[in-house]
Amino acid sequence: MVKIPRYIDTQPQILWWELDEVILLVLSLFAGIMTRQLTYFLLGGFIATYFVTKLKSGKSKGYVFHWFYWLGIPSFQFRSLPPGHRREFLE
């Protein structure tokens, strides 16, 4: 049986977290293992995940990417897709 998501554009979820929040937690877990400071990094990862969740709540879709843009952090999008205005003509 295949679970079909209710909305097409929703992010994949693991338990009650969205994928970007899980990635943040896993990166903090990895950094804690590498530096042998697992407790501190996991605590920091949970706190960072909490703040990212609060930051995203009540905002429009893609808010975090807009926030990264204003901070100067590059976004890694699908490079193989043409820009939106060209995609409309290809469909």
pLDDT reported for residue 8: 65
pLDDT in tens, 8-17: 666 667 777 7
Give the residue numbers spanning the domain of 24. 13-75
Q: Tell me if 1 is assigned to some domain.
A: no
User: What's phi and psi for 18, nearest 5 deg?
Assistant: -80, 170
Residue 77 has pLDDT above 60, yes or no: no
The helix (run of H) or strand (run of E) holding residue 43 is helix 38-56
> Is 68 a domain residue?
yes
Looking at the domain assignment, is residue 23 inside a domain? yes
d(CA 6, CA 9): 9
Domain-located, residue 27: yes
Number of domains in the chain: 1
**Is residue 29 assigned to a domain?**
yes
- Any domain includes 49: yes
Task: Judge contact between 74 and 65, C-beta under 8 A.
Answer: no
Average pLDDT score, the chain = 77
Q: What is the pLDDT of residues 43-63, one digit of tens each?
A: 999 999 898 888 888 777 777
pLDDT exceeds cutoff 90 at 36:
yes
- Flag whether pLDDT at 74 surpasses 70: no
**Assigned domain for 59 exists:** yes
